């Protein structure tokens, strides 16, 4: 991998984690969009699937999977920190402290449901992207993003609703919460598809193409080839 592509990979990875955090924080705000009641999370979150695809295109599935797990871990650390500061004595009234604490510390069932749904759906996105690449090669790049997003985005919503609200809401309510939000997320996910053309194709396997080992910094790949 060239130094330029390494820098791009770092930027894409940072953007992926940032988009995850922005989506989670904006989840506090509910909106009416296209006549559908959604949270702001649904506007930013679909972008993470395309950013994951961009990282996959640059560095292969192993790096993409690492990015997914790292983002989930960072999210849990952030939530744990929020829970900690919400429990500390504040310089505010008791009522204000309780309100702030409620904002910063969502119920753990919803929190864990969101994390598990995100990790599973993003890993499924990785597998679909890989299978498409194996079948069609480097052609139809838009297709690999569309195919992975059109499955993983609805899957994410289904998993969250089942894990967070399973056994609590009726099937009619389940479908109501699923259909509208999923349509909006797919809309924004499709808008983000052209982003895949902003990065260069690297490989399906970081190790086979660059001869990088886990102990070698990526920037040494070219030097190793030139010296061999």
CA distance from start to end of the chain: 16
Q: Is-contact 215 207, C-beta < 8 A? A: no
| Residue 31 banded pLDDT, cuts 50, 70, 90 | confident
Q: What percent of the chain has pLDDT over 70?
A: 80
Domain that holds residue 50: 3-203
Q: Does 224 map to a domain?
A: no
Q: Does 216 map to a domain?
A: no
Residue 190: per-residue pLDDT: 94
Residue 91 is classified by DSSP as S
Nearest one of 15, 52, 12 to 149, comparing CA atoms: 52
| Residue 2 banded pLDDT, cuts 50, 70, 90 | confident
10 CB contacts (<8 Å, ≥6 apart)? none
Domain count, the chain: 1
Q: Does 218 map to a domain?
A: no
CA distances in angstroms from 184 to 95, 116, 136, 166, listed in the order given: 36, 21, 28, 22
Residue 210 has pLDDT above 90, yes or no: no
Quick one: average pLDDT of 182-201?
Answer: 93
Cβ count near 71 (within 10 Å)? 24
Q: Does 17 map to a domain?
A: yes
Q: Does 215 map to a domain?
A: no
Quick one: average pLDDT of 207-226?
Answer: 46
The pLDDT tens digits of the residues spanning 69-120 come to 999 999 899 888 877 877 777 665 666 555 555 555 567 788 888 899 999 9
Q: Token digits for 62?
A: 């192993």
Q: Does 24 map to a domain?
A: yes
Residue 37 is classified by DSSP as E
Residue 203 has pLDDT above 80, yes or no: no
Query: Distance between CA atoms of 37 and 33, rounded to whole angstroms?
Result: 6
Q: Is-contact 1 202, C-beta < 8 A? A: yes
Q: Does 212 map to a domain?
A: no
220 CB contacts (<8 Å, ≥6 apart)? 212
Q: Does 181 map to a domain?
A: yes
């Amino acid at each position: 991998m060239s130094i330029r592509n390494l820098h791009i990979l770092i930027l894409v990875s940072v953007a992926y984690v940032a988009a995850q955090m922005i989506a989670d924080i904006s989840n506090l705000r509910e909106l009416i969009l296209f006549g559908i009641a959604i949270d702001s999370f649904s506007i930013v979150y679909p972008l993470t699937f395309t950013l994951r695809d961009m990282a996959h295109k640059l560095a292969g599935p192993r790096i993409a999977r690492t990015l997914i797990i790292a983002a989930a871990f960072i999210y849990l650390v952030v939530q744990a920190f929020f829970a900690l500061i919400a429990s500390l004595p504040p310089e505010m009234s008791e009522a204000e402290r309780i309100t702030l604490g409620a904002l910063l510390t969502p119920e753990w069932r919803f929190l864990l449901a969101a994390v598990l749904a995100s990790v599973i759906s993003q890993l499924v996105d990785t597998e679909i992207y890989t299978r498409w690449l194996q079948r069609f090669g480097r052609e139809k790049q838009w297709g690999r993003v569309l195919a992975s997003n059109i499955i993983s985005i609805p899957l994410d919503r289904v998993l969250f609703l089942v894990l967070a609200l399973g056994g609590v809401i009726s099937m009619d309510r389940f479908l109501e919460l699923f259909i509208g939000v999923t349509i909006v997320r797919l809309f924004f996910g499709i808008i983000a598809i052209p982003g895949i053309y902003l990065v260069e194709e690297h490989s399906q396997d970081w190790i086979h193409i660059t001869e990088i080992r886990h102990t070698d910094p990526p920037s040494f790949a070219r030097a190793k080839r030139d010296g061999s």
